[in-house]
Amino acid sequence: MADGEERDPDHMHHIPETTRPPQAPGANGGPPRAVALDPAPAPAAAPAEPRVARAGKGVVLDRLNLYYGAFHAVQDVSMTIHPNKVTAFIGSSGCGKSTVLRAINRMHELVPGARVEGTVTLDGEDIYAPGVDPVGVRRQIGMVFQQPNPFPTMSIYDNVAAGLKLGDRRLPRSELDEIVERSLRGAHLWDEVKDRLDKHGSGLSGGQQQRLCIARAIAVEPEVLLMDEPASALDPIATLAIEDLVRELKERFTIVIVTHNMQQAARASDMTAFFNIEGAGRPGRLVEYDRTEKIFSNPSEQATEDYVSGRFG
Amino acid sequence: MSTHAAPAPRLAGGTLPSWAVWAVYAAAAVPAIALVATTDLAPVAVVAGAVAAAVAAVYAWSRAVEGRRRAADRAVTIVVASAFALALAPLVSVLSTVLERGLERFDAAFFTESARNVVGAGGGAAHAIAGTLVITGVATLVSVPIGVMAGIWLHEYGRGPLKRWLTFLVDVMTGIPSIVAGLFAYALFAIFLGPGVRLGVIGAVALSVLMIPIVVRSVEEMLKIVPQSLREASYALGVPKWRTIVKVVLPTALAGIVTGVMVAVARIIGETAPLLITTGVVTSMNTNPFEGRMQSLPVFAFTQYKNPGAVAQPYIDRAWAAALTLIAIVMLLNLAARVVYRRFGTEVR
């Protein structure tokens, strides 16, 4: 059972706060701006942290319409993603969950012919405004993919450091070492790989590779972490490990997770958005968005009830 | 094994012994050898007939013992294996002939002496080896950066009709006759240097014209293999596109690109016609591609064979030795590529 891990719940709290890399201007400090309808999360929730835990940022989607060429994939999605919460996107295949997710960090436009209408604001800033560099957006909004995809040419260490090494800034080796260790600890992978940091990441098991990808994503300290079915390629034990990790990571990041797994959404998320599609070729829509308990116990829409109770799809 | 389950289809049927196919081959080979030795029938026809007879015999035997499906399987296996042997035969024949005849003059003098003032036996091809290495080296130095960057543009940046047209042109260039490349380079330099000038670098340019499209295509193919998910992973970390290509995509494709370059080198290193026009024929050592004529191994082999002396054999021996040297160089390059592949190769999943 390569994915079994000795959990050390104290990992997160031994992180030396002072070694955190400098943030992009306006990316850190202060309480999150009042984008959220929700009361601001209590950032001091991490008890052992010497200072206030870093806060993620909220994201607001406003009348978002997404297209692949002539195909209207997603219609009129408006929602507020609250900072430092886990938001789950659920819905049947092809209903546009992943497309919406990819629009949040401007990955959607990488597909030839893809178009975006409407706005996505990160902490009040429109990420689709003219003059906004998608590279800068993606620095603040990281992503973990369905298939673990560590860089095959790089060692485990270099994989985690990739975002920093390939970015604009040059960090001294000692600082890089600390960030790599902290990120791997944050992804619950440190104990399993600390003796083979110079080995290739492709030698790890699937679950370990996915945690390596999470470590890689959090190493650049994004504000928001998007996860596109991060556990769907993993066995149940590795899946649980990822879910535990997600719950823990929300102290530092805003997390959006796409999942086909109802239990996972119910277990790991604070808010749930249900997407649906009326028929083949029709655009996907946001049907209902609410607190996870409400979605799973007493949803307002019949379609949501049908879906979460497994009556269709 | 249950004995009372008679109505169920039997799983184990009759099977030919493992030596059966070989026995049929041997049985077919004996009369074939006899026919070739005793009659003046064309050996190719005899071999083809023997293979056909063997296939028929195996099929009939197998059908009788094992049933139709296994018989067809055996027959097709033999046909495929024979086709493979047929494809391999010329290669083995070329290698053995070149080895046999080339070893005659594959001696120290061949690698250390030039052909200057050599009449009859003796002399060597050191000047031609040096020329081949210099010309091919310069051509590679020119072609690899251009080819790699063009391939990157085509796959990572190119869009729409422009990309389609350029891809088409690269395909056309892949099929360009080498003599045309030679004439092109000759004419190009004639504009600046006047007609009749022969330099190593002109030959290198001619070879580049042949090499660039091969490199472009192989780079493009290798970049296609790099999974899109790796690029996306890099973009999602906020890495700009060009750095993603340089630091993630190219290293992942490196082993394949190196192999592609080696294939392209092997393709141009044996070119004769363009070098005959552009670098000329010379018997003495010249390692400066920008000054004077330059000999190369294929041209050396050609001239030795075409202009033998009163006693032809030493010239013909030198031509074979030059051919063997050329094959040896290509083999060494391939071995080097394999080492690179082992050293830097990554498994792309």
Domains along chain B with CATH numbers = 20-104 (no CATH), 110-344 (1.10.3720.10)
How does residue B8 score in pLDDT terms, banded at 50, 70 and 90?
low
Average pLDDT on B68-76 reads 89
Q: How many other C-beta atoms are found inside a 10 Å radius of the C-beta of residue A44?
A: 11
The Cα–Cα gap between A128 and A119 comes to 6
Whether A174 maps to a domain, the answer reads: no
Give the sheet arrangement for strand A71-81, strand by strand. Answer: A125-126, A114-122, A59-68, A71-81, A284-291, A271-277, A86-91, A254-258, A224-228, A141-144
**Lookup: tokens for B95:** 């290698």
Whether A35 maps to a domain, the answer reads: no
Q: What is the pLDDT of residues B83-104, one digit of tens each?
A: 898 899 899 999 999 999 999 8
- Name the least confident of A115-119, A223-227, B43-47: B43-47
> In chain B, what percentage of residues exceed pLDDT 90?
54
Who has greater pLDDT, B21 or A102?
A102
| Residue A39 confidence (pLDDT) | 42
| Residue B130 confidence (pLDDT) | 94
How does residue A1 score in pLDDT terms, banded at 50, 70 and 90?
very low
| Residue A242 confidence (pLDDT) | 87
Average pLDDT on A1-23 reads 42
Q: Which residues of B touch A154 (CB under 8 A)?
A: 251
Nearest-neighbour CA in chain B from A298: distance (Å): 36
Query: Which of B331, B334, B272 lies closest to B304 in space, CA to CA?
Result: B272
Q: Which of A201-205, B279-283, B296-300 has the highest mean pLDDT?
A: B296-300
Closest residue, chain B, to A165 (C-alpha): B239
| Residue A24 confidence (pLDDT) | 41
Average pLDDT on B182-207 reads 93
How does residue A12 score in pLDDT terms, banded at 50, 70 and 90?
very low
| Residue B12 confidence (pLDDT) | 67
Who has greater pLDDT, A9 or B118?
B118
How does residue A117 score in pLDDT terms, banded at 50, 70 and 90?
very high
- Name the least confident of A11-20, A105-114, A119-128, A200-209: A11-20
Closest residue, chain A, to B227 (C-alpha): A149
ipTM: 0.78
The overall average pLDDT reported for chain A is: 81
| Residue A92 confidence (pLDDT) | 87
Q: Which of B156, B157, B229, B239 to mutate to test the interface with A (most CBs of A within 10 A)?
A: B239
Flag if B235 and A110 touch (Cβ within 8 Å).
yes
How does residue A44 score in pLDDT terms, banded at 50, 70 and 90?
very low
Whether A81 maps to a domain, the answer reads: yes
The overall average pLDDT reported for chain B is: 89
How does residue A32 score in pLDDT terms, banded at 50, 70 and 90?
very low
Q: Which residues of A touch B347 (CB under 8 A)?
A: 152, 202
Query: Which of A211, A238, A296, A102 lies closest to B236 in space, CA to CA?
Result: A102
| Residue B204 confidence (pLDDT) | 96
Who has greater pLDDT, B13 or A47?
B13
Q: What is the pLDDT of residues A282-300, one digit of tens each?
A: 899 999 999 999 999 989 9
Distances (CA, A) of A282 to A72, A92, A101: 7, 13, 19
Whether A55 maps to a domain, the answer reads: yes
pLDDT for residue B251 is more than 50: yes
pLDDT for residue A169 is more than 80: no
pLDDT for residue A23 is more than 70: no
The Cα–Cα gap between B299 and B281 comes to 7
> In chain A, what percentage of residues exceed pLDDT 90?
45
Whether A91 maps to a domain, the answer reads: yes
| Residue B32 confidence (pLDDT) | 86
Whether A180 maps to a domain, the answer reads: no
Q: What is the pLDDT of residues B123-140, one digit of tens each?
A: 889 999 999 999 999 999
| Residue A56 confidence (pLDDT) | 74
Average pLDDT on B255-280 reads 91
A184 and A194 in contact (C-beta within 8 Å)? yes
How does residue A312 score in pLDDT terms, banded at 50, 70 and 90?
low
User: Does B91 lie at the interface with A, CB-CB under 8 angstroms?
Assistant: no
Encoded amino acid at A311, one letter: R
Whether A111 maps to a domain, the answer reads: yes
| Residue B7 confidence (pLDDT) | 57
The Cα–Cα gap between B296 and B294 comes to 7
Query: Which of A88, A77, A78, A83 lies closest to A36 in space, CA to CA?
Result: A83
Flag if A140 and B234 touch (Cβ within 8 Å).
no
Provide the H-helix boundaries in chain B: 20-38, 43-66, 68-102, 108-112, 126-152, 160-174, 178-193, 200-225, 228-236, 241-244, 250-269, 273-278, 297-306, 313-344
- Name the least confident of A43-47, A233-237, A298-302, B121-125: A43-47
Flag if A200 and B346 touch (Cβ within 8 Å).
yes
User: Does B233 lie at the interface with A, CB-CB under 8 angstroms?
Assistant: yes
Nearest-neighbour CA in chain B from A286: distance (Å): 24
Residue ranges making up the domain that contains A94: 49-148+226-308
pTM value > 0.80: no
Q: Which residues of B touch A105 (CB under 8 A)?
A: 236
Whether A269 maps to a domain, the answer reads: yes
Q: Which CATH number fits the domain that encloses residue A275?
A: 3.40.50.300
- Residue A122, C-beta contacts closer than 8 angstroms, at least 6 positions apart: A57, A58, A59, A137, A140, A141, A223, A224
| Residue B6 confidence (pLDDT) | 52
| Residue B186 confidence (pLDDT) | 95
| Residue B324 confidence (pLDDT) | 95
How does residue B29 score in pLDDT terms, banded at 50, 70 and 90?
confident
Query: Which of B313, B329, B281, B324 lies closest to B136 in space, CA to CA?
Result: B329
Exposed (0-12), middle (13-18) or buried (19+): which is B214, by Cβ within 10 Å? Answer: buried
Residue window 155-174, chain B: list those with CB within 8 Å of chain A: 159
Average pLDDT on A168-178 reads 85
- For strand A125-126 and strand A86-91, is the pairing parallel, antiparallel, or unpaired? unpaired
pLDDT for residue A271 is more than 90: yes
Cβ-Cβ contacts under 8 Å between A and B: the total is: 86
- Name the least confident of A9-23, B63-77, B111-125, B261-275: A9-23
| Residue B1 confidence (pLDDT) | 47
Flag if A135 and B232 touch (Cβ within 8 Å).
no
A287 and A100 in contact (C-beta within 8 Å)? no
**Which residue in the set A150, A152, A167 is minimally distant from B239, CB to CB?**
A167
| Residue B189 confidence (pLDDT) | 94
Q: Which residues of B touch A167 (CB under 8 A)?
A: 237-239
Q: How many CA atoms lie less than 13 Å away from B240 in the CB half-sphere?
A: 6
Who has greater pLDDT, A72 or A309?
A72
Flag if A149 and B227 touch (Cβ within 8 Å).
yes
User: Does B251 lie at the interface with A, CB-CB under 8 angstroms?
Assistant: yes
> How many independent structural domains does chain A possess?
1
| Residue B66 confidence (pLDDT) | 85
**Which residue in the set A139, A151, A166 is minimally distant from B243, CB to CB?**
A166
A211 and A188 in contact (C-beta within 8 Å)? yes
